[in-house]
Structure 1
């Protein structure tokens, strides 16, 4: 078996070590005998989403997002939308997550029109939402992470969150939602990176990608003692 990963804007969107998510996915698949290739999709480089099984985009500051908008509109936005609608697995972190929505309105009134693939929008505020936080997905997976964002994200009426906040701010600090899940696309504010500390969530993404390509595949269990211990310590220390 082989899985191909497209790492979108790997050179610009890597806030708080988000590249670690790629390393975690790759390692967890290789330990199971699954071949993995990772392609870096940078500015000015086109790609065909049909060639990939997993898409990943990390987080960045408002400046990086603004710079990337023009490049996105040269065709990457259409490929990302095609992948999302076709049920490809995608993980988008913070700024990458925000760009899947309709727009970002900065706290000083600047409007950034985003891809509009999923029905949500983000509005900036002066006070940042920072700290270790935790949330639980619809599957009951508890996730710990680190958030640092000044944007408040509001989901559309028919859009489901990735999870419910246990502790922290999440999307906006108001409605207890965190992130977004649409088909097999996952958006979250969780830096850290998220996957090394949350092995069950990493395996969910891997399982979905394998199912898309090969049908139902039972993952070989890995020894996650250290990962689970680290997650437990974070929960006990901060929450």
Structure 2
């Protein structure tokens, strides 16, 4: 089969909590199965490949988001077109927020997003920090670490990724975590989340192959170690 192309958005600026690990996990799970993969990093000013199968973006400090803000905004039309075309996207924390309609700062300043996800985020002074595990309809349990001050609310065009069981999730109020629209997934789970959520990792790969019309059956992998890491993380104090 043709190599899957994984596009990694802003690998230097948006990797504060190890989110680049999500790229490494997907690459390794493909390689273990003898499946070809190409990794394309995209930084400020770089073109977005038109043949992307999976696009991954992580979280960053506020200053880093400011550094990439204008570049990200001008990619809006292409990102919306990619989402409409079914490209699989996993957006963590800051990238998740920027895929929404807008981020409203604590002072009331409105920062426009690109409108891929029907979500709005409001800044506030208290950070939501700690281990979290989430129950999802398709991928079962996801385990990661949240650290954000933005409170995200979902509109009718987005469904929650899952229900937060330990942490605060999107906003600490409604029990939701993350957002999903077709093949676009946003979440606050760092860690990296795919390292402790192997079923979720394989679900992303299946989505990418199905979009291309190729067989989506993946050979089993011994996931005893990531499952153990997930159990340990869930049992640790926040």
Query: Which TM-score bucket, shorter chain as reference?
Result: over 0.9
Residue 20 of structure 2 corresponds to: 19
The superposition leaves residues 164-209 of structure 1 with CA deviations (integer Å, 9 ceiling, x where unpaired) of 1111100000000100011011100001110011111101001111
Q: Provide the rounded CA distance (Å) in 2 between the counterparts of 1:21 and 1:190.
A: 11
1:120–1:64 CA distance, 2 compared to 1 (3 A): same
Residue 96 of structure 2 corresponds to: 97
TM (norm. structure 1) is 0.95
Mean Cα displacement is larger for which, 157-166 or 208-217? 208-217
Determine helix, strand or coil for the equivalent of 1:23.
Answer: helix
Gaps of 5+ in 1: none
Residue 172 of structure 1 corresponds to: 171
C-alpha RMSD of the superposition: 1.4
Determine helix, strand or coil for the equivalent of 1:15.
Answer: coil
Residue 65 of structure 1 corresponds to: 65
Q: Provide the rounded CA distance (Å) in 1 between the counterparts of 2:86 and 2:58.
A: 19
- Deviation, structure 1 residue 219: 0.4
The superposition leaves residues 52-102 of structure 1 with CA deviations (integer Å, 9 ceiling, x where unpaired) of 10001111122222222211233x222211111111111000000000101
Q: Provide the rounded CA distance (Å) in 1 between the counterparts of 2:37 and 2:221.
A: 17
Q: Give the number of equivalent residue pairs.
A: 237
- Deviation, structure 1 residue 238: 4.2
Gaps of 5+ in 2: none
The superposition leaves residues 83-125 of structure 1 with CA deviations (integer Å, 9 ceiling, x where unpaired) of 1111111100000000010111111222211111221100011
Residue 28 of structure 1 corresponds to: 29
Q: Is the 8 A contact 1:171 1:179 kept in 2?
A: yes
The superposition leaves residues 119-172 of structure 1 with CA deviations (integer Å, 9 ceiling, x where unpaired) of 110001101000111111122511111000000000002420111111110000
